[in-house]
Amino acid sequence: MTAAATSPSLPIAAIQMVSAATVDANLEAAARLIRQAAEGGARLVVLPEFFCLLGRKDTDKVDIREPANDGPIQRFLADVAREAGVWLIGGTVPIASREPRRILNTCLMHRPDGSLAARYDKIHLFGFRRGEDRFDESATIMPGRTPVVCDLVEAQASWRIGLSVCYDLRFPEYYRALGTVDLIVVPSAFTYVTGQAHWEILLRARAIENQCYVLAPAQGGRHENGRRTWGDTMLIDPWGEILARLPEGEGVVAGTLSAARIAEVRGQLPALAHRTL
């Protein structure tokens, strides 16, 4: 048996959604897609940013905010992780902040028993103005402060998972702050304009410079509120090769992390070891 055959691997999946303006409909769709990914063999499943709601107004997400560690959306994530028996990264959930008019855009990672493994509050807040496209996340979201890495232990193998969300993707220094990881996840809801221009190239750059896998579940399609998100959920390997993708519409993008592939890339081109800053 070859070394590659005995090297640890981890089946993973990203879920692409076209989230609606009602929470219940989105939780139903997410549960169905999580079960589909689990039935396909995935051990880690990742949802997109604001999987639970893309409202008609920016303040709709503030209206459904939940206190930390409590609320129907958080209970849903814990329950479905346990029922499906998977590690689950719940895209993002609106969590109450110290300011009543702003929330924390929070990424939660649950273990297969439903317990909470990690929490990351999105640090970088999107702002964009071009023509009629205007976005200012800081009006309704408070930024987080701390990069987060979580160890996923599965079948006597340990994987370092770096958590990030959407606009973080444009800040390579954030990923350097994570240290050496095996997988970066980027739950997102990229706009159609910025996604068309930069989504793929930024994702591939983050995989190449950090010599790790990148899994980026996205919102992808025309939403009830009239907004169109870019989609193109994808899995990228440490050499920057796209292993799987879904251009638009809801669905599951699946693949496998390979410890042998990570070691191969880092052994052939030890760029991480060559850093001087």
DSSP labels, 168-190: GGG-HHHHHHT-S-SEEE--B--
Q: What is the mean pLDDT of residues 15-40?
A: 98
Least Cα distance to 227 among 104, 47, 49 occurs for 49
Residue with tokens 């292993």: 243
Residue with tokens 């999107």: 126
Q: What is the mean pLDDT of residues 224-248?
A: 97
Residue 111 pLDDT: 98
Give yes or no: 212 in active site. Answer: no
Dist. CA 15–CA 33, nearest whole Å: 7
CB atoms near residue 138 (< 10 Å): 12
**Amino acid (one-letter) located at 163:** L
Dist. CA 201–CA 194, nearest whole Å: 11
Count the helices and strands in the chain (H runs, E runs).
8, 16
Q: What digits encode the pLDDT tens for the residues 156-193?
A: 899 999 999 999 999 999 999 999 999 999 999 999 99
Find out whether 45 and 87 touch, Cβ atoms under 8 Å: yes
Longest dimension (CA), the chain: 59
| Residue 110 β-bridge partners | 88, 116
**Which residue stretches of 184-258 are H helix?**
192-194, 200-210
Residue 277 pLDDT: 86
124-132 contact pairs (CB < 8 A, 24+): 124/167, 124/168, 124/170, 124/171, 124/174, 125/167, 126/166, 126/167, 128/191, 128/193, 128/194, 130/193
Give yes or no: 122 in active site. Answer: yes
Residue 30 has pLDDT above 50, yes or no: yes
Q: What is the mean pLDDT of residues 119-130?
A: 95
Q: What is the mean pLDDT of residues 32-36?
A: 98
Q: What digits encode the pLDDT tens for the residues 64-107?
A: 999 999 999 999 999 999 999 999 999 999 999 999 999 999 99
Residue 139 pLDDT: 97
CB atoms near residue 146 (< 10 Å): 9
- Average pLDDT of the chain is 96
Residue 132 pLDDT: 72
Dist. CA 250–CA 29, nearest whole Å: 9
Give the active site residue among 49, 66, 137, 250. 49
Least Cα distance to 170 among 128, 231, 141, 120 occurs for 128
DSSP letter (8 states) at residue 47: P
Residue 4 has pLDDT above 90, yes or no: no
Question: What is the SS3 assignment for 42?
Answer: coil
Residue 3 pLDDT: 45
Residue 2 has pLDDT above 70, yes or no: no
Residue 1 has pLDDT above 50, yes or no: no
Give yes or no: 150 in active site. Answer: no
Give the active site residue among 61, 66, 122, 137. 122
Q: Which tokens go with 185?
A: 């996840």
Question: What is the pLDDT confidence band of residue 141, given thresholds at 50, 70 and 90?
Answer: very high
Residue 246 has pLDDT above 60, yes or no: yes
Give the active site residue among 52, 166, 212, 250. 166
Q: How many CA atoms lie within 13 A of 68 on its CB side?
A: 13
Q: How many CA atoms lie within 13 A of 36 on its CB side?
A: 17
> Could you tell me the domains of the chain?
9-268 (3.60.110.10)
Question: What is the pLDDT confidence band of residue 5, given thresholds at 50, 70 and 90?
Answer: low
